[in-house]
Amino acid sequence: MTSALTVEPTDLTTPSRKRTLVIIGLMLGLFFSSLDQTVVGTAMPTIIGKLGDMELLTWITIAYLLTSTAVVPVAGKLADLFGRRTLYLVGMGIFILGSALCGMADSMMQLAIYRGVQGIGGGMLMPLAMTIIGDITTGESRAKMQGLFMAVFGLSSILGPQLGGWIVDWLSWEWIFYINLPFGIVAAIVIAAGLKGTHIKKKAVIDWAGIGTLIVGIVSLLLALSLGGKEYEWSSGMIIGLFVAAVLFLALFVVVESRAKDPILPLHLFKHRVFTVVNIVGFLMSLGMFGALMFIPLFMQGVVGMTPSQASSVMTPMMIGSMLASIFGSRLLFKVGLRPTMVLGLSLMTIGFGLCLTLGLDSTRLQASVNMVVMGLGMGVIMPALGIAVQETFPAEVRGTVTSATAFFRSIGGTVGIALLGSVFNFKSVDVIGNKLDGVFQGFGPQGASLLDMAHNNPQGLYSSLLNAEFLKALPEQAVEMFKQTVTPLLKTSLLDSLHLVFEVSIWFCAAGLVVALLSGKIKITPREQKRPEASSESAAEEVVKA
């Protein structure tokens, strides 16, 4: 290795004014960067009304997703090379710049591009915040703090939609982005003042080939998953080409990393059982988790008939359960070990999805909320534990790399989960609705043929009649009542069948993660301050893995 990061002893590992400043700054940055992932959705109808180009709607989300995911492992490695303080401030600067540009966008195309810039900064902030907390705390103190930060992340998810609606109603959509500026600047100043810098002993060698092949491979994969089945057919040349590019560049990335002097993602890390198990479990957990995050609100609105605000309130118990479990559940890691903690969290998530299969046409908000609490408790137990496990296992020289890798695999799991579960939902919807509605639209006049075509090729278009009253206004007056009496009940049962299949697939994802956890062996995570001080950096990662 041609460069090494010297992590200087610092008084930040004990309670102090500087440590408090850093924690406050990190919480501010984490809250507003994660808030930006949920607050925009509420404002999108207003933004479309102002900027037009509704066909670019999905790119507002895709652009942020692409850049924020691709930059995660790169940011972690660069933080190990150049120091957490430097990279965090760079990330915050990019996030502030992207937010300002988004607020000044004059078109949807500009907004999509600026969201990509914002995503670069946002993708750096989350893993670096967790890495810095890993640097300034140890042992159970680290567990408490990581749990608290996950609670902040959950709180931002709860407040995002409500805050977005309030900002649009009382200010303007631009302030969805401008609100990040003052708080981001304050967070940057606090971090700059409170966090001690690190330095490089030798000249740093940046793995440009690894960075390039990784980003191209990941962006190709994310584009294929985001556009497949929506903008393009899965069998189209565009999607197949993107998948081929993803495989080729990710394979090339592995080759490059195996030969690099200082790789962006050292492949030898996968020889450590903790690193491998944590990332496999995190990937599988995220695959299933999005079954709840994406489709429960759809169930509450489309099947039960709630308003959007009522449906979003059903998710609140899940977030509260996750917040509480993340604060107290992360301490279980040191008391019972990694395997029991993962098993408990994944078991609760699996049970939660199983309870979702009991939801029906007559389900109440209370019943759905109870199910969400169980699922939230499982998420809260396992999510902070995964990050803490790798931070306690590996020395400070690679802490940024391993922490970012854990966040990266969870993010990729979530992206793949969205695509897979969306495909499952679409496939089931086409099959069920097409069979149930054949012959139903004969009395609907000229619109009957187009409605039947929609049933076979675009069932989501029909489902919009359950979510948006404007759909029915496009029908002739005499057909509206017929639609409500004959079509709406069939749509609700079809939607319910499709969502049940989504929940079943989510159960299998969580169950796969549970199997990995059960087969992981006895892994005891020992707080780093309890290890022998004479242990070398290379042996430090080994002595905490006790089979």
CATH of the domain at 190: 1.20.1250.20
**How far apart (Å, rounded) are the C-alpha atoms in residues 20 and 24?**
6
Structural domain contains residue 323: no
| 78 shares a domain with 132 | yes
Torsion of CA 82, 529, 542, 88, to 10 degrees: -20
Give the amino acid at 440: V
| 243 shares a domain with 182 | no
Query: Which of 455, 472, 497 is the endpoint of a domain?
Result: 497
Of 519, 530, 510, 535, residue with least CA distance to 273: 519
Other C-beta atoms closer than 10 Å to the C-beta of 439 total 8
The alpha helices in 260-337, defined as continuous H runs, are 273-299, 308-329, 332-336
**Contact of 440 with 490, CB cutoff 8 Å:** yes
At residue 13, the pLDDT reads: 45
Other C-beta atoms closer than 10 Å to the C-beta of 268 total 10
Structural domain contains residue 282: no
Other C-beta atoms closer than 10 Å to the C-beta of 315 total 21
Query: What burial class does residue 5 get, using C-beta atoms within 10 Å of its C-beta: 0-12 exposed, 13-18 middle, 19+ buried?
Result: buried
Structural domain contains residue 37: yes
At residue 117, the pLDDT reads: 93
At residue 261, the pLDDT reads: 80
At residue 508, the pLDDT reads: 92
| 134 shares a domain with 20 | yes
Of 407, 413, 483, 473, residue with least CA distance to 444: 483
Torsion of CA 196, 531, 340, 323, to 10 degrees: -20
Of 19, 43, 39, 32, residue with least CA distance to 182: 32
Residues 6 or more apart from 101 whose CB is under 8 A from it? 110, 114, 117, 118
| 233 shares a domain with 198 | no
**Residue span of the structural domain in which 212 resides:** 208-260
**Contact of 302 with 435, CB cutoff 8 Å:** no
- Beta-bridge mates of residue 200: 5
Compute the 3-state secondary structure of the chain and give helix, strand, coil in percent, each to the nearest 5.
80, 0, 20
Tell me the CA distances in angstroms from 154 to 32, 74, 84, 124, 327, one per residue in order: 12, 25, 24, 18, 11
**Contact of 164 with 312, CB cutoff 8 Å:** no
**How far apart (Å, rounded) are the C-alpha atoms in residues 354 and 337?**
26
CA angle in degrees (0–180, nearest 5) for 235-240-242? 140
| 123 shares a domain with 249 | no
| 153 shares a domain with 10 | yes
Structural domain contains residue 339: no
Q: Give the chain's domain count.
A: 3
Local confidence pLDDT in tens for the 547 residues of the chain: 333 333 333 444 444 677 778 888 888 887 877 777 667 766 776 777 777 766 666 677 778 878 888 888 888 878 877 778 888 899 999 999 999 999 898 888 898 899 989 989 988 888 888 788 877 776 667 667 766 777 777 677 667 766 776 777 787 788 888 888 888 898 888 888 877 765 554 566 677 888 888 888 888 887 887 777 767 887 888 989 999 999 999 999 999 888 888 787 888 888 888 889 999 999 998 888 876 677 777 787 777 777 666 666 677 787 778 777 877 777 787 788 888 888 999 999 999 888 888 888 888 878 888 888 888 888 888 888 888 888 778 877 777 788 888 888 888 888 788 778 877 887 777 677 766 666 666 666 666 667 767 766 666 666 666 656 666 666 666 666 677 777 777 778 888 888 888 889 989 999 999 999 888 877 666 655 555 443 433 343 333 333 2
Model pTM score? 0.76
Tell me the angle at which helices 180-194 and 17-51 cross, rounded to the nearest 10 degrees: 160
Handedness of CA 352, 353, 358, 359 (dihedral sign): positive
**How far apart (Å, rounded) are the C-alpha atoms in residues 532 and 476?**
79
Other C-beta atoms closer than 10 Å to the C-beta of 84 total 28
| 173 shares a domain with 116 | yes
Structural domain contains residue 167: yes
527-531 LR contacts (CB < 8 Å, sep 24+): 527/138, 527/139, 527/140, 527/142, 527/334, 527/392, 528/138, 528/139, 528/392, 529/138, 529/139, 530/139
| 74 shares a domain with 42 | yes
Query: Which of 194, 225, 260 is the endpoint of a domain?
Result: 260
Structural domain contains residue 294: no
| 110 shares a domain with 14 | yes
At residue 7, the pLDDT reads: 39
At residue 307, the pLDDT reads: 67
Query: Which of 497, 519, 536 is the endpoint of a domain?
Result: 497
Structural domain contains residue 357: no
Give the amino acid at 312: S
| 196 shares a domain with 81 | yes
| 191 shares a domain with 231 | no
Structural domain contains residue 397: no
| 239 shares a domain with 96 | no
Three state DSSP letters for 373-408 = HHHHHHHHHHHHHHHHHHHHHCCHHHHHHHHHHHHH
